[in-house]
Chain A
Amino acid sequence: MTEAPLLQLDDLWVSYYSRSMLGFAAKPFHAVKGASLTIEAGQTLGLVGESGSGKSSIANTVLGLVPPSQGKMVFDGQDLGALKTRYPAEIRRQIQAVFQDPYSSLNAAMTVEDIITEPLRVHTKMSKAERHARAVELMKMVSLNEDHLNRHPHQFSGGQRQRIAIAAALALQPKLVVLDEPVSALDVSTQNQIINLLYERRDALGMAYLLIAHDLALVHHISDRIAVMYLGHIVEEGPADRVYYQPAHPYTRALLDAVPQLDPAEQARRRAARKAAPAPDLQRVAATGCPYRNRCPLAMPRCEASMPPAYQVEGGGTAQCFLVEEQTRKGAA
């Protein structure tokens, strides 16, 4: 870890300002509240959390679609958070994306060739023939028939469409690809193929992935590090195996309990534990304190008083939970 990380987010805030009918500024909604993350070159960071946790806001900010309201974002040595305008083109082409739903993420009016060469047309000076050659190469790369380049998206299946989206994302050989729920819209048999394809391409091309998903088992399978988000906070972060096998935050544990089990007795125990925990109540989440305390089976009085800082966890990474601090203290004593 002597090299600087590829992407570094430091205390990043993303806020949305809705306008009322009369044009007065309403209270801002903070989707991301001080997130800090690092992605090393060629590595995969899995970002998990339930819907509304702010993980897509992080994706949008990294892609330059939504400006951060506060904090620092450094990509490849350039501080992007400081840029008030759009990213410079050389940065833009280094970050590409694959989205969740391949049925709506491909432009139905364009041919496959137009879709996957569109980034080349905008970011390179390649000739039409060069772009076509690259398109053929990309089709092979994602195991699609190159004869289908002049077809339209509606002539493909969901898995094939996602391969087209991946081909478009790979066209510029980016350093970072944001994968926003890349397989959750596909059926299970196709999911594995797409995951394996992403895996192979990463190792062959040396790209880094920011993988956003809600399925911890899948994320563990492909990621080097995992970050867990809850209501805008990154509550736990660390090496994939450590987070998956020794979760430090109660919320991570709850997420792991949501992974279906083969053993019926274990499954029944987990279901009972899930029912005991109430759903998040946004109204009751106060400005201070741990955002998870209403649902946490292990909540303590001090959780209400202040937000736990990120404590170092044994085995690597951090967790924003007072229990970690108490365990560390017990271990030291």
Chain B
Amino acid sequence: MFRLLLRRLLALVPLLFLVSVLTFSFTAMLPSDPVDLILGDTGTTEQHDMLRERMGLNDPVVVRYARWLGNAVQGDLGTSFFNSVDVTRAVMQRMPVTLSLTAVAALIAIATGIAAGVAAALYPRSWIDRLATIGATFGQAVPNFWFGLILVAIFAVNLHWFPATGFTPISQSPWDWLRSVTLPAVALGLSSSAAIARQVRSAMVGVLQMDYIRAARAQGLSARRVILRHALTNAMVPVIAVLSFQITVLLGGALIVEQVFAINGLGTLAITAVRQQDIPMIQGLVLVMVGMVVLVQLATDILYGLLNPKARPS
């Protein structure tokens, strides 16, 4: 197991390198000139040339990339074009916000998705199965920002149970953090919950028909033990693949939901950066986001190996 982990971690190095090349070259290919962006129409040609020389933009692209990568490896993602903010610090400041939103949404999605999927699979064609199917269709069809607005209208504006906007860090007040993160996390997690529920249901229906379930029941095990220990561990194997994908979707979705709830996470940062064509900020954000996605996939791969002995290297 440890060797597998080590091997997977080493495999990340070329992957992250490739991502860094792509991120850098895409932003380098943008037709806009950073110097024009910074100075605008003001400034003389000499001033433009001076700034260009100072920023090292006259160097060949390979040199610029090597310089950027060298700094990035040391944790320095450069400085924003616009407000001289350190990109690494800006990203690290916002990251806990987006991560906690994504994590809570993922927890909600996994818990409700598995529960609904299992319940539907245990009683196929019952009212609970039908309710889960309708709920899953609804959940996957509804856009998260619209659902977020509806949640705000009901639970924040009318009932005053939760704040309508904003985010309280968990270090400041765990209770307020929970209140501030609940509505956006529910809005964000709904579609993933639906996708997981569908996958769990179909996997579970298949597993429940297997002979080893009949064998477990014939041994006289309780229904709970048969479902949780024998059926669910096997049904989770195909679900893990969906899970990994859904967490990636949640990370992307968080950027939009943050806008609805006026949360200062990576999303707000990214949208501002794109609008201003703040290239160092965009590069840094993309690199960090890809890093998170890669780590999530690594975690789910390991989980997959734990649940499915056949996928383990012997």
Contacts and interface: CB of A to CB of B under 8 A. Distances in A.
A253 interface: no
A92 B214 CA distance: 14
B234 interface: yes
Interface centre among B210, B211, B230, B310 (most CB of A within 10 A): B211
Contacts of A123: 220
Contacts of A211: none
A167 B214 CA distance: 17
Interface in A59-82: 63-65
Between B211, B217, B220, B230, the greatest number of chain A beta carbons within 10 A of the residue's beta carbon is seen for B220
A105 B220 contact: no
Contacts of A100: 211
Interface of A: 19, 63-65, 87, 89, 92-93, 95-97, 99-101, 104-109, 111, 118-119, 122-123, 152, 154-155, 165, 168, 178
Contact of A96 (B219, B233, B234): B219
A151 B207 CA distance: 22
A105 B209 CA distance: 11
B16 interface: no
Interface string B193-214: 0000000000000000011101
Contacts of B230: 107
B73 interface: no
B213 to A, nearest CB: 8
A97 B215 contact: yes
Interface in B27-41: none
| Interface residues of B, dominant DSSP | helix
Contacts of B125: 19
A101 B211 contact: yes
B221 A152 contact: no
B45 interface: no
Nearest to A100: B211
B235 to A, nearest CB: 10
15 contacts: A19-B125, A64-B220, A97-B218, A97-B219, A104-B211, A104-B212, A107-B230, A108-B212, A108-B234, A108-B310, A118-B216, A122-B219, A122-B220, A152-B310, A178-B218
B307 interface: yes
B309 A108 contact: yes
A56 to B, nearest CB: 10
Contacts of B233: 109
Please provide the 6 A-B residue pairs with the shortest distance between their CB atoms, ordered closest to farther. Answer: A92-B220, A105-B211, A152-B309, A104-B211, A97-B218, A63-B218
A168 B307 CA distance: 22
Given A109-B309, A122-B221, 7 more contacts: A65-B218, A96-B219, A100-B211, A104-B211, A122-B222, A123-B220, A154-B310
Interface residues of B, number: 23
Contacts of A65: 214, 217-218
Nearest to A88: B220
Contacts of A165: 215
Nearest to B223: A86
B31 to A, nearest CB: 54
Contacts of A97: 215, 218-219
B225 interface: yes
Contacts of A87: 220
Contact of B234 (A89, A109, A111, A178): A109
Interface in B263-314: 307-310, 314
B210 A104 contact: yes
B218 to A, nearest CB: 4
Contacts of A63: 217-218
B219 A119 contact: yes
Given A109-B308, A118-B216, A99 B221 contact: no
Nearest to B314: A155
A52 to B, nearest CB: 18
Contacts of B314: 155
A122 B225 CA distance: 9
Contacts of B225: 122
A19 B127 CA distance: 13
A201 B149 CA distance: 68
Nearest to B237: A109
B254 to A, nearest CB: 33
A118 B221 contact: yes
A234 to B, nearest CB: 22
Contact of A99 (B211, B222, B310): B211
Which of A95, A107, A123 is most buried by chain B, counting CB atoms within 10 A of its CB?
A: A107
A121 to B, nearest CB: 9
Contacts of A64: 218, 220
A111 B215 CA distance: 16
A107 B314 CA distance: 18
A107 B234 contact: yes
A27 to B, nearest CB: 18
Question: Which among A64, A100, A108 has the greatest number of chain B C-beta atoms within 10 A?
Answer: A108
Nearest to B236: A109
Interface string B4-45: 000000000000000000000000000000000000000000
Contacts of B212: 104-108
